[in-house]
Structure formats: structure tokens, C-alpha cells
Amino acid sequence: AAIMIILNGVVGLCLLLGGLRHGEQSYMQSGVSAALATLAALSVMTLVLPNHVTSLPGPLYAPAQLAFVGTVALVLYATFVLVQTVRHREYFLPETGSQTTASSIASGAPTNRMTLISGAFLLVAVVLSAKTLAPTVEAAVATVGAPKAVVGVIIAGLVLLPEGVAAVRAARANLLQTSLNLALGSALATIGLTIPVVVALALIFDWNLVLGLNPTNTVLLLLTLLVSTLSLSTGRTTIMQGVLHIVLFAVFLFMLIVP
């Protein structure tokens, strides 16, 4: 749900609102391509491949497979963060005024200690908010007779709301590169950080971790990755790409309610 919300809902809204306000917007193709390639690899390995392995029946990885995939996910995410923040950070800066942008970002960057403290507080706040809201959301969904899967989408949407709002505001300010960095970075963190942690817990406590998507969501995920790769392949976007992603998000929600 989180990947569909980000790639179709958040990115689509950013491209649509940015296109309506500024006509055509540009971004660094190299950075976006790296993010999409990493996201595609992580998504398929963790959400699609479990449906096709033969060691265990069903959408399950065997313990050895689970450990391997969790390690690979962490390696891919760590490598992407290294490239984005240290080795090739220029790939993720706006094309115009890159040096000025880089220096201004560096001068206003928080310390490592402050970053760790803020991250810890954010994680605690997100977890507590999700646990507090879950019963209320479940009751509301049951009242209207919607499928239980809607609860997960609502909770994921609430958790991703801060990044989504920031990405939309950046797109409306004609900072599409910043907008895409926020959106795609959030999607990568969702898989690249969450999956290794969940895998470690599953191995420690001997849980049966179901990762594979059902056939409908698998098709929609693969379609989303394909469309995202094509729509963000030129370095420029208009409202066309925005409408396309919003429509895919609407299809995802409709198929969730009417499976």
C-alpha cells in the first residue's frame, strides 16, 4: 500500500499540481533513475518474488531466503543513501544553480546527533500514532462495510502524510527535484529499512512472514513501476504524467474496495 500511495498518489499529485501551476517542470534524470531502479529491485524481491519460490508453499520465503533478501534490501538501501548524500549528491540537486543549492544545503544541515535524535522521536511518534489510530480506523471501516485492507491503506497514508505534504509543497514551488527526492526517498526507506527490521524479527521469533502480494496488487505494482520508469524518463514533466499516476492510484483504491 505504501508504495502505491507514494508512486501514484503522492508523485501523481506533485506532478499534477506542479504542472498546473508551472506548465513544465524539470529534474535531474540521473538521480530519479537511480531511485526508481533501486525501488524496482527492492519491490520485486520483497513483494513479488515470494509468490514464485518453491522452498515453501504460498507467498513465503524459507529462513535462508528471508535472511538473504533482508540483507540484500539493506545493502541496496544503504548504497543508495551513500550515493545520494555523499558520492554523487549532485545527481539529486536541481540542474540550475547546483553549486549554490549544495552550499546552502550544507550550511543549513543538522548535526549527526540532532539527526539521530529527530529520527528516534519521529519513529516513536509514528508508531504510537499508528497504534492509537488503528482501532478507530478499523471501527470506521467496519461501519461503512469496506474491506479490512482499507485500514492498512488509511494508516499508511497517515504515516506518509508529512512527506507527502512536503513533496507537494515543493512541487508547487517549482522544486520538482526536491519533491521527487522526498517522495522516492520515502518509498525506498519504507522497503529498504522496514523489510530488514521485520525480517530480523521474524527470524528471531520464528514468525511466518507473508511478503508476497495477491495477483491483483502484483499486477498493479508492476504496472506502476513500468509507468513510473516511463513517465520519469525524460527529465521533464507536465500534467499528463500527473493525471496518469492519479488514475493508477484511483484504480488501486477501486480494486481494493471492489476486488
Q: What is the pLDDT at residue 105? A: 39
The least confident of 31-35, 49-53, 92-96, 252-256 is 92-96
Q: Over 90: is that where the pLDDT of 104 sits?
A: no
11 by Cβ neighbours in 10 Å (0-12 / 13-18 / 19+) ranks as buried
Q: How confident is the model at residue 154 (pLDDT cuts 50, 70, 90)?
A: confident
Return the pLDDT at 118.
Answer: 45
Mean pLDDT of 137-152: 71
Cβ neighbours for 137, distance < 8 A, ≥ 6 positions apart: 151, 154, 155
Query: pTM for this structure?
Result: 0.83
Q: What is the pLDDT of residues 41-51, one digit of tens each?
A: 999 999 999 99
DSSP 88: T
Q: List, as own/partner pairs, every contact residues 58-66 make where C-beta atoms lie below 8 angstroms and the sequence separation is at least 24, other chains included.
A: 58/210, 58/212, 59/210, 59/211, 59/212, 59/213, 60/208, 60/209, 60/210, 60/211, 60/212, 61/209, 61/211, 63/203, 66/199, 66/202, 66/203, 66/209
> What's the alpha-carbon Rg for the chain, to the nearest Å?
19
Which tens digit of pLDDT belongs to each residue from 159-215?
A: 788 888 999 999 999 999 999 999 999 899 888 888 888 899 889 988 888 888 899
149 pLDDT more than 90: no
Task: Identify the pLDDT of residue 96.
Answer: 58
Closest CA to 97 of 170, 15, 26: 26
**pLDDT at residue 116 above 50?**
yes
Mean pLDDT on 89-105? 60
pLDDT at 259: 81
pLDDT at position 78, please?
Answer: 92
**Minimum mean pLDDT range among 6-15, 148-157, 202-211, 223-232:** 148-157
Burial 46-74 (b: 16+ CB within 10 A, else e): bbbbbeebeeeeebbbeeeebbebbebbb
The most confident of the ranges 56-60, 66-70, 102-106 is 66-70
Query: Of residues 188 and 141, which shows the higher confidence score?
Result: 188
- For the chain, the average pLDDT equals 83
In the prediction, which pLDDT does 60 show? 86
pLDDT in the model for residue 48: 93
Q: What is the pLDDT of residue 254?
A: 93
Cα dihedral across residues 211, 215, 220, 222: positive or negative: positive
Question: How far is 79 from 38, CA to CA, in rounded Å?
Answer: 10
